[in-house]
Chains A and B, each alone.
Chain A
Amino acid sequence: MDPRLFNAIVVVVGVPGALVGYILLIETLLRGVPGRLQGRIRPWLWLLPAFGFLGVFLVYPTIQTVIKSFQDRAARNFIGLANYEWFFGSSEMVSTLVNTLVWVVLLPLITVGVGLLIAVLLDRVKYESIAKSAIFLPLAISATAAGVIWFFMFLWQPPGQPQVGTLNGILDAAGADPVAFLQVSDYRFNTVMLVIVMAWMWTGFAMVIISAAYKGISRELMEAARVDGATEWQVFKGIVWPLLLPTIAVISTTMIITALKAFDLVYVMSGGQFDTSVIAFEMIQQFGFGQQGRSSAVAVILLLAIIPIMAFNIRRFQAQEAIQ
C-alpha cells in the first residue's frame, strides 16, 4: 500500500478517535473528583486541545517573529531597529507600500460596492439563486486557478499579431491598441488589475452576506415609505443603507484584512514583478533571500497594520454580545 495512503488513513481514523477518547477519558477521571472542583477543572480540559494548537501554531510563532525582527539575517545577534530602518528606508519598499495601500482601499470598495448593487438588483428577479451561484462560484476556486483564468483574460501579443487574450481581443475589435497588462513596469495599473481579479473572487462573498441582511429588512417599512412618496433612491438612503451598515462594516474589515494578507495572486500572476509587490509578498521574498530578520520585520509590520482593524472588530463584537 502507498505509505501516503496508510498515513492518511491513520490520521483520518486515528486522530478523531484519539480526540474522542481524550474527552471520554477526562470525563471518566473527573467522576472521581469532588463536585465543585469538577466544574472548575472541566472547561480547561475540554479547551486543552484547542489551546495546544493555537499556542503552538499562532501564539508562539508570533512572539518568535517579533523577537527575530530585531535580529540579523541568520537570527543570531540583536541589531536593534536595523530591519525596520531598512524597510522604511529603501526606495523599493515605497512602491510596495503604495501597492498595499491600493489593495486595502480598492478591494473593499469594489467587493462591497458591487456586492451591494448585485444583492439589491437580484432581489427583484426570479432567477436570483442561479445568478447568485454564478457570481459566488469564483470563491470556491484557488488563487492559482483564478490566476490562470485571468492569464487568458490579460494575454497580450505585440500589435499586428492576433490578440488571443479576451480583453485585448475586445480592444482589438474596437480598433484600439492592445494593452500589455502585467507585462511591463511602464503600465501603471498592474496592481489595479490584480485587485480586480481578487474582487472577481470575493464579490460573491460580500453579495451573499449583504443579500441575507437585505432580506431581513422589513418590506412593510420600505413599502410604507414608497406609499408616502419616497423615491427608490430615498428608500435606499433612508432605510436600506443605515440598516445594512453594520453588515457592511464587518465585510469591509474582512476585505481589508484579506487585502493586507494577499500573497497567492501576486505570486501566481506577476511574481511581484512590474511594480506589483505588496507587504505579504515581500515577507515571503525576503525569507527566500535568506533574510530572516528582514522577513520577520515585514511580518511584524503586517501584523501592526492589522491590529487597529482587529480592535475595531472586537469592539463591534462586544457591542453585539451586549445586545444579546
Chain B
Amino acid sequence: MSGATDIREGAPPAKRELPRWLTRLPLHIVVIALVLIWMIPSIGLFINSFRSPTDITSSGWWTALFPPENFTLDNYAYVIGRSGIGDAFVNSLFIAIPATIIPVFVAAFAGYAFAWFRFPGRNVIFLAVVALLVVPLQTTFIPLLQLFAPLGWNGEFLSVWLAHTGYGLPFAIYLLRNFMSELPREVFESADIDGAGSATKFFRLAIPMTIPAIAALAIFQFLFTWNDLLVAFVFIGASNPTNLPLTVVVANLVQSTGGGWQYLAAAAFLTMAVPLVVFLALQRYFVRGLTGGAVKG
C-alpha cells in the first residue's frame, strides 16, 4: 500500500515554487476531514457508552471531551447484568462458529471440482451457482420454515447453521473456485506422475495453497453470520427467545426504547467488540481476498 510514489514529484518546477507542504495542505485537510466524518459517529457512541444515563440525556457526548469528565462503567455492568446480553453473546458465538466452518468445507470440495475436474456443463453449472448469489434471502424463509416445522428445527441453532451454509455457498464457491483455478498446473501434473489420487491432491496440495482465500472467506462468513439479524430473527425469533443472538436482542432493545436508550451505547459496543477485533487483526487477509476476486481480469 505504501509503495505508491508521489506523482507530484515529477512535476516540472514552477518559477516561484510554494513550499511542498503548503501545496499539499488542501489534500491533507480534505483527507483528514473525510476520516473524521467517518469516525465521529463511532466516537460519539464510544464516549456515550462510558457516561452516566443522566449525563447522556442532558448533554451531548462532545461535552465529555472537556473537564469535568465523569466516566463510568455502570452502563456495561447494567447491560451485562439485566437484559440477557451475556447469554445472547454466547448464542452469537454458538451460531457464528459452526456457520463459518461448515460452508468453508463444502465450498472447498465444490470449488476444487469446478476448478480441476473436467465434466460436461462445468461452466454453465458454475454460472448457475453464481447466479444464486442474487436470490433474496427473504424469498426462502416461508418454505424453509414449513420444511423445518415438522422436524422441530425452528428455534434451534441447527436451522440457522444449515441456512447460513446454504446462503453463504454461492459466494464461497465463487471465491474458492477462482482462487483454486489459478494454482500452478505443474504441481498437480507431477503429483499425477507420482500416482496421487484426487483426495491426496486436494488435501495435500490444493488446500495448503488455498489458505489465503480460505482465510478471507472464513473471516467474511464469520462477520456475516455474527452480524446477521434477519436469518436468526426468522428461524429462531418467535419460537425460542432464549436462543437469540446478540444482534436480535440489541435490535429489540433499540425498538423498545422505553427500556432506557441510555444503555444502548454500551449494548451496541458489546455487539461490535468481536467483529472489530477479528477485523482489525485479520483485515490484511480480508482485503486481499476481496480485491483478488473483484479486480482480476
Contacts and interface: CB of A to CB of B under 8 A. Distances in A.
Interface residues of A, number: 122
A228 to B, nearest CB: 12
Interface in A190-238: 200, 203, 205, 208-209, 212-213, 215-216, 219, 222-223, 226-227
A50 B130 CA distance: 12
Given A223-B10, A226-B10, A50 B110 contact: yes
Given A46-B109, A137-B42, A320 B229 contact: no
Given A137-B279, A200-B41, A65 B143 contact: yes
B260 to A, nearest CB: 13
Contacts of A306: 134, 136
B279 A54 contact: no
Given A24-B199, A49-B109, A209-B294, A280 B134 contact: no
Contact of B278 (A138, A140, A283): A140
Consensus secondary structure, chain B interface: helix
B251 interface: yes
Chain A interface main SS type: helix
A12 B24 CA distance: 53
Contacts of A90: none
A209 B295 contact: yes
Nearest to A15: B102
Contacts of A261: 136-138
A132 B143 CA distance: 42
Contacts of B31: 118, 121-122, 125, 131
Interface stretch (B56-64, B70-78, B208-216): B56-64
Nearest to B297: A320
A24 B199 CA distance: 7
Interface string B107-142: 101101110011100110101011111111111111
B135 A166 contact: no
Contacts of A65: 139-140, 142-143
Contacts of A323: 297
Nearest to A64: B143
A209 B287 CA distance: 8
The 6 residue pairs across chains A and B that have the minimum distance between CB atoms: A57-B166, A142-B227, A61-B140, A64-B143, A148-B268, A140-B279
